[in-house]
Structure 1
């Protein structure tokens, strides 16, 4: 039986098919824009290659786009057909994909953990677990997952750089910045085109307020980003965030237009509504408007895409961002339809996803809408109960911060000093840089003791 790059037995027809599969997995690990296209040569070499069909199902799920779910289901059906008598490890991947498609995120995570308990070098199970744990607001599972498998890995095993990069991001999200930066830089020494490692170190610098260093760090690596997927847009967003914190608002807006929301670029045309792109754009425009910066008609194309996605709830964290665009363009009817669809989904479904919609996505989206309508007290009232569970929406500390700023701005405008103080205390406890040194908080922190 052929073996993959990490030395696992694989149910496949030939060594050539497995090598093509390794190449496809590497494309996913390294955030290559052609990762999905790399599956075609695998299936051309072996149409019954079950794990190739699993990967073909995993990749559309990573887009968190409801229109892609049928593709994932088709791939799952093919994988089941061809892996019914395969290894237990491969069958575990089929079950994990099935749980994920059905919205049973906790069961999917547990299944990947079961695979890794027996096969700690299964880099696909590892990376899918890392990805889904992050987007479901479980950083502690990201961290536990990487530390469990780390002793069984080494630089001699293909995929080591991806493990180091994931370790860096998991530690960053859990506040262990020294370990995070060291792991990220080690991965970058192996390959300066490791975009997830670049991303992790950029997060460390964001959280530590190292803005000038962050700008130089990203500028020095951008030559290695060619061929990357939408994460390159997100890295440009990080650079804009550094400029925003330095009150260089024109530079931040310029990066919006020239880099991470450059709709004329081939990559933007290929992925015009990827969730991270929607988050990048909406959060930057919202932050700039909070600082009094006029953003012109930039909200319009975001609102058009948001309106086309009414009823798509796969990414709870993206929902408040879509609401920002709808509200900014006064698409009140569409905004009401979004909320109605979210409420229906929360009532009709059970489990983790419905709870996140009910407890976090709906109240935060209601707050976004009330804030734009000028009903600031209602925004605070809607959002206050969700503050303690917002992390379950997914997204990083840096990304979630726009929601914290929303609540603070609403509290200040409503004259609710106790709520503003509450938010300042949250900001001081969650972020190592004090509110007095952060652009979204400094003015309020100077006025209200916390």
Structure 2
């Protein structure tokens, strides 16, 4: 008898109880709730030969992007590879994709998951892994189109349809298809109120459109659905961005202190990324953040030379230069030199293209060498997607460039950059404040006053 999961996909060497346990763990992964890794590990302790269980565990570990997790990923993958003769074709393809990922061939892994999805378009795990990898790699087109390619096989009768819509909503938003993105995201949340990823997708739409009050209302109205999820840190960060745009800095610092500032030494990089990204934005805007950098830099320092993921490296560098840890900052740059000289994997390319230059620019900025920071960042500003993350996350590069131009007296450039921002998001008070400073720097006090008035009017 062939055992299948809830989407009619065959599962090797399993019984219905094992499949149910796997689906329960996957539901946790989809909703960012509970402990899916612990859940599947408990299943595998009792049934170590469960092929799809080992695949699922290894799949979870691919998303950590941390050196400390890598040995467990490799160990789990080797167990899955040893079980490959018992696996079916779909499962073997999963194993091949995870092997490519573990070897640093992130693009190859995504290609293998994509080929799997052509044949098995209802494999929600493959879709989720490929989509999250697209985000890690900054592949904005496929964040949308990879989901679109499997839509023909889905409807509301297929379990997990709402989660698929949530992934699609985010991909649509990253491609500025805002209306359809919001429709899909809200529909996903209506189907699964605790779908934190879909809630986040709608939040992205509102941030991208400069709908600050609407974004605050959306996040607060859904707070009970996401505030206790494993994605809460990132969603608190999103909420803080709306307040930051409105110059409600007390609220931003309150969110940081209550929800992002942690003395936990577990080393969860996803949490520390959000904390560093928020503090650096405050730093750029001239807000005194007190001693908050020290605690965060203490958490990043043990992994300063990991060079596993460029996106992590730049956020680590923010903490080191902001806290004046110049020796550690040099260690990061030296590690980049060694790594990019010796390696040729996907992350090495990300580091060369964006990670390493941005780290150098961050150091120059903190040393008040603003012209140097501008000269480093200006040539890479249209390649920043290769750092990974979202448009909202990568906007920190544009903000750093603009602020460096302002502080360095490059006011014509600053005005051009501010003009670009106000055209893209004209309802952003922060963008108009940037424009006002650029006008004033050029000596055009009339235009500066007009831009300041626009910013005040948008506070509503």
With the shorter chain as reference, the TM-score category is over 0.9
CA distance in 2, matches of 1:178, 1:66: 39
Aligned counterparts of 2:287 and 2:403: Cα–Cα separation in 1:
15
What is the correspondence of 1:24-423 to structure 2 with a 5 Å cutoff?
Answer: 24-225=25-226, 227-229=228-230, 231-263=231-263, 269=264, 272-423=266-417
Measure the CA separation in 2 of the matches of 1:148 and 1:403. Answer: 32
User: 8 Å contact 1:317–1:393 — kept in the other structure?
Assistant: yes
Aligned to 2:24: 23
- The answer to which of 356-365 and 40-49 deviates more is 40-49
The answer (yes or no) to whether the contact 2:381–2:397 under 8 Å persists in 1 is: no
SS class of match (1:84): helix
When residues 234 and 226 of structure 1 are mapped into structure 2, their CA distance, relative to the original with a 3 A threshold, is closer
1:85-125: CA deviation from partner (whole Å, max 9, x where unpaired): 42111001001101111110110110000000000000000
The structure-2 alpha-carbon separation of the partners of 1:33 and 1:134, relative to structure 1 and needing over 3 Å to count, comes to same
Q: Deviations over 1:149-187 (max 9, x none)?
A: 112111111111210100110000110000110000001
Q: State the Cα distance separating 1:416 from its structure 2 match.
A: 1.9
Contact 1:436 1:446 in 2 (8 A): no
Distance in 2 of aligned mates of 1:126 and 1:63: 17
Alignment gaps of 5+ in structure 2: 452-460
Cα deviation, residue 406, structure 1: 0.6
Determine if contact 1:72/1:101 at 8 Å carries over to the other structure. yes
Q: Residue 135 of structure 2 contacts residue 143 of structure 2 at CA under 8 Å; is this kept in 1? A: yes
RMSD: 1.9
Distance in 2 (CA, whole Å) between partners of 1:232 and 1:101 is: 27
CA contact (8 A) 2:421 2:431 kept: no
> 1:168, 1:179 within 8 Å by CA — same for their partners in 2?
yes
Aligned CA distance change for structure 1 residues 226 and 357 (closer, same or farther; 3 Å):
closer
For 1:253 and 1:326, how far apart are their aligned partners in 2?
20
Residue 327 of structure 1 contacts residue 369 of structure 1 at CA under 8 Å; is this kept in 2?
yes
Distance 2:428 2:201 in 1: 22
CA-CA distance at 1:194 after TM superposition? 0.7
Q: Deviations over 1:368-410 (max 9, x none)?
A: 0000011111111222222121111011111111111111111
Distance in 1, Cα, partners of 2:108 & 2:98:
10
Give me the whole-angstrom Cα distance separating, in 2, the residues matched to 1:205 and 1:131: 21
Residue pair 1:310, 1:337 contacting (<8 A) in 2 also: yes
Render the CA deviation track for 1:322-362: whole Å, top value 9, x for unaligned: 11110111111110000110121111111432121112100
What is the count of residue pairs matched by the alignment? 442
Q: Helix, strand or coil: the match of 1:311?
A: coil
When residues 445 and 6 of structure 1 are mapped into structure 2, their CA distance, relative to the original with a 3 A threshold, is farther
1:446/1:198 CA distance change after superposition, 3 Å:
farther
CA distance in structure 1 between the partners assigned to 2:262 and 2:106 by the alignment: 33
CA distance in 2, matches of 1:212, 1:251: 13
Q: 1:352 to 1:132 in 2, by over 3 A?
A: same
Shift of 1:58: 1.7
Any idea what the Cα deviations from partners look like across 1:115-137, whole Å, max 9, x if unmatched?
00000000000000000011111
Residues of 1 paired with 2:141 and 2:386: CA distance? 12
Provide structure 1 residue ranges, at least 5 long, that are not aligned to the other structure.
264-268
Question: Contact 2:168–2:181 (CA<8 Å) still a contact in 1?
Answer: yes
TM-score (norm 1): 0.94
The residue number in structure 1 matching 2:434 is 441
Secondary structure, aligned partner of 2:150? helix
Residue number in structure 1 paired with 2:455: none
1:417 Cα deviation after fit:
3.1
CA positional deviation for 1:51: 1.6
Change in 2 beyond 3 A, CA 1:407/1:361? same
| Counterpart contact for 1:346–1:354, Cα < 8 Å | yes
Q: Take 2:430 and 2:226, find their aligned partners in 1: how far apart are those partners?
A: 31
The more displaced of 231-240 and 351-360 is 351-360
Looking at structure 2, the residues matched to 138 and 30 of structure 1 have their Cα atoms a distance apart, in angstroms, of 23
CA distance in 1, matches of 2:197, 2:353: 30
Query: Residue in 2 aligned with 1:266?
Result: none
* Segment drifting more, 108-117 vs 302-311: 302-311
Distance 1:360 1:240 in 2: 26
Distance 2:4 2:420 in 1: 49
